[in-house]
Amino acid sequence: MYLKLDTTIPENTLEILDEKFQVLRKSEKIMAKNQSEVMLSWIDEVVSEDLSNLRGIIVCVGPGSYTGVRVGVTVVNSMALSLNIPIVGFIKEKDFSPAGLASSTFVTPVMPYYEREPLITKPKARL
């Protein structure tokens, strides 16, 4: 089975897919401000079986909420590394390709995709 996660908007989507990438289970959860606090317990609740059955992870890498993308990508990169399974990212509004999941082991983490530079490093104007 595969885990597919989209955290680009406050209504996060988590899907469990079968070997042919058909949806077995789908869950949506609004996480506007507390993603980092509840993400892992939500995944555990939806997967509801041994994580060793996961064969790969698919994650939407953006564009979208800066914090949402960052938290989602970080969580699934960590899961893929610890479970030693492949991970593939896809850009929202485009179809994901399961071809990246052909590997049976973790190869490299996915990186977030932003349409523009984040504004977090810009100095604030002094009054």
Q: Which residues pair with 11 in a beta bridge?
A: 30
Asked whether the beta carbons of 70 and 77 are under 8 A apart, the reply is no
What is the full per-residue pLDDT of the chain (127 aa) written as tens digits? 899 999 888 888 999 998 888 899 999 988 767 777 888 888 888 887 778 888 999 999 888 887 888 889 999 999 999 999 999 888 877 766 777 676 667 778 888 887 766 666 666 666 5
- Determine if the pTM surpasses 0.85: no
Asked whether the beta carbons of 14 and 5 are under 8 A apart, the reply is yes
Domain locations in the chain? 2-121
Question: In terms of CATH architecture, what is 2-121?
Answer: 2-Layer Sandwich (3.30)
